Amino acid sequence: MLMTDSIKLSIIIVSFNTRDILKDCLVSIEKAQIACSYEIIVVDNDSRDGSVGMIKEDFSGIIVIENKQNSLFAKANNQGVAIARGQCLLLLNSDTLLEKGNIEKLVLFLDKASSRIACVGPVVLNDDRTLQSCGYALPSIAERLSMVLHLSRLLPKTVARLLLPAGIPGLYEENHRVGWISGCCMLIRSDVYRALGGLNEALEFYGEEPEFCSRLSKSGYETWLVQEATIIHLGGKSSGDEHAAFLKDETGAMRRYTELQKCTVGIRKSIVMSRIVIVSAIFKYLISDRSKKVYFKNAISRERAIIRYMKNTL
C-alpha cells in the first residue's frame, strides 16, 4: 500500500461475516497495484467468522473499526468516512474484485472533471464478465414511463438521449451522466460527501445509493459512469445469509421502499409511478399468454399493496 502524509484515496469496506470473500477483495486490491497514495479502512459489523483476525494476521496497515453490533451499510460507511484522510472516498463492497488500472481510471476522471461532478463509478460486471449494471436514472415519473413503455428501445438513440432522464441504460457507449450508480463501488469527493451528511442512516438496508445520488443532484452535483473502468461484483454475497429473513419480510420491505421514495421523489409522485406500472401490467396481462399472466398478476397486486401502504403514511 502506497502511503504518504497526503492521502489521495480512502478505500472503505463494510464487512459482515464475509471473511473469505473479504480476503479475496483485499488480495485483489494488492494485486491491482493502485498507483496513488491510499489507505484501507474496514468497518466490521460484529462478524463472528474470524474476519477481524484474518485482516490482522494477513494484511498489515489496514485500519479496522470493530463494531459491537451490526450497524448495517449506511452507518458503517459513515463511521469509516469519519476517520478517512483521503481527498476522495471509495465505498467498496467486500464481494468485489479489483483489476489493475481501473481505480486509477476513476480517480483520474474525477481529478480532471468539473467540480460539479462529485461521484463516479465503473461498469459493474458479474464474475463471468457479463454486464451487471452501468448506472441508472433517478426515480421519477419520466423514468417509470420510460421503463414500462421501453422508450429507450423505441426511440432513436439520439432522440432518447435528449428526451429521457439521464442514466437510462443502453443509450451510451462513452462516459456519461447517470442518476445513480451501484453502491458496490462509488468514488466520491470527500468534502462533498461530508457536506451532504454522508449516507442516509434512516434507510435500514438497500436504497442508500439512489438516495445519496438524489441528494447530490438536488445540491447541484452530478454522478457519472466511467465507461472504460470495470469491476467484478459477485452480487449479494456481502450481505451475508443472516440478512435473508430481514430482506424477505414484506412489511419491512414496504417500509424501506416507502422511506426511499419519500427521500427522493416524494410519496404522492411515487403513488403516480406505481399506478403507471399497474396500467402497464394490466395491459400486458391482457395480451400475454397463460404462462406469463401470473407474473403480471403478481406485479399488479404488489403495486396495489405499495399504494395502500404509502397512502397510510400521508
- Ramachandran sector of residue 17 (left: φ over 0; alpha: ψ -120 to 50; beta: rest): left
pLDDT tier, 179 (very low <50, low <70, confident <90, very high otherwise): very high
pLDDT tier, 92 (very low <50, low <70, confident <90, very high otherwise): very high
The residue among 184, 206, 303 whose CA lies nearest residue 263 is 206
pLDDT tens-digit series, residues 74-88: 999 999 999 999 999
pLDDT(192) > 90:
yes
Q: Pick 108 or 2 by higher pLDDT.
A: 108
Strand pairing of 222-233 and 131-133? unpaired
**What type of residue sits at position 173?**
E
What integer best gives the mean pLDDT of the chain?
A: 92
**What type of residue sits at position 255?**
R
Q: Kindly report the CA angle at 134 between 252 and 20, in degrees rounded to 5?
A: 65
Domain extent listing, the chain = 9-134+172-238, 244-311
Contacts of 196 (CB under 8 A, 6+ apart): 212, 215, 216, 219
pLDDT tier, 253 (very low <50, low <70, confident <90, very high otherwise): confident
* Residues 24-32, mean pLDDT to the nearest whole number: 97
pLDDT(33) > 60:
yes
What pLDDT, on a 0 to 100 scale, did the predictor assign at position 238?
57
What pLDDT, on a 0 to 100 scale, did the predictor assign at position 239?
56
pLDDT tier, 4 (very low <50, low <70, confident <90, very high otherwise): very low
% of the chain with per-residue pLDDT over 70: 94
Q: Pick 247 or 24 by higher pLDDT.
A: 24
Q: Fold for domain 9-134+172-238?
A: Spore Coat Polysaccharide Biosynthesis Protein SpsA; Chain A (3.90.550)
pLDDT(241) > 60:
no
What pLDDT, on a 0 to 100 scale, did the predictor assign at position 3?
46
What pLDDT, on a 0 to 100 scale, did the predictor assign at position 206?
81
* Residues 198-205, mean pLDDT to the nearest whole number: 88
